[in-house]
Amino acid sequence: ALSVAKGTLNFADLKRPEQAVKYFLRFVGAKAAVTYGMSIMTAIFSICGGVVSNIAGQMGGMTAAVCLPDEMRDTINRLNFVESIPLWFVTLLGSLFITVLSFILILTVYARFFKIYIYCALSPIPLASFAGEGFNTGQAYIKSFIGVCMEGAVIVLACVIFAAFSSSPPVPDLTASAFTMTWKYIVEVVFDMLVLVGLVKGGEHLAREMMGLF
């Protein structure tokens, strides 16, 4: 209806056969987009999900875990009760930062699923605009949905890179005190997690930028 109102100056133009056929085909396209909108969205999601699965399969599992080097563990175990008190504060602070960053990661991943659900639920409205002349809402919507789906690929790659860094922890300075070694190690772990959180939160923007979906 918006296309007819915008592209037709008078009723005589609408009476021409070529105009009638053109608007009829657009109506059929809009009807098909609305009727099969969920199938279209599911197909796009399946294609992007296959890309994410292939990336995860080719790059192997993420089995590495963040753990203390053996040298640091031996040094800490040799401390007495009084000497270990400063380490409690350091580890408590590090645990707090890591816990907060972990919650941010979980919320970001879950928010992606909710965004996919919302995109699919509202898909008939923007998909219907494919039939309109001069209305690019449907095209922009498909690009945005592809960006949300491909965000999973960025998340998987970010987690794999983080696992690779975690599997090779930094070599501690055995000449330093246990407090200094622990502090440096926690700072490096928190920094790596900050980079991971930044990549995960900016996954959609990064995916759309790499694929030229803006």
Q: CB count, 10 Å around CB of 75? A: 18
Which region among 13-22, 138-147, 155-164 has the lowest average model confidence (pLDDT)?
13-22
Q: What is the pLDDT of residues 144-162, one digit of tens each?
A: 888 888 888 888 888 877 7
| Whether 64 contacts 167, CB under 8 Å | yes
Select, from the ranges 7-16, 80-89, 121-130, 177-186, the one with the highest average predicted confidence (pLDDT). 121-130
**DSSP secondary structure letter of residue 36:** T
Q: Tokens representing 104? A: 């941010």
The type of residue at 34 is V
Q: Tokens representing 103? A: 């919650």
Query: Is pLDDT above 60 for 86?
Result: yes
Q: Tokens representing 64? A: 């590495």
| Whether 33 contacts 128, CB under 8 Å | yes
Instruction: Read off the pLDDT band of 77 (50, 70, 90).
Output: confident
Of 34, 4, 25, the closest CA to residue 127 belongs to 34
DSSP string, 111-180: HHHHHHHHHHHTTHHHHHGGGSTT--HHHHHHHHHHHHHHHHHHHHHHHHHHHHHHHSPPPP-TTS-HHH
d(CA 174, CA 70): 11
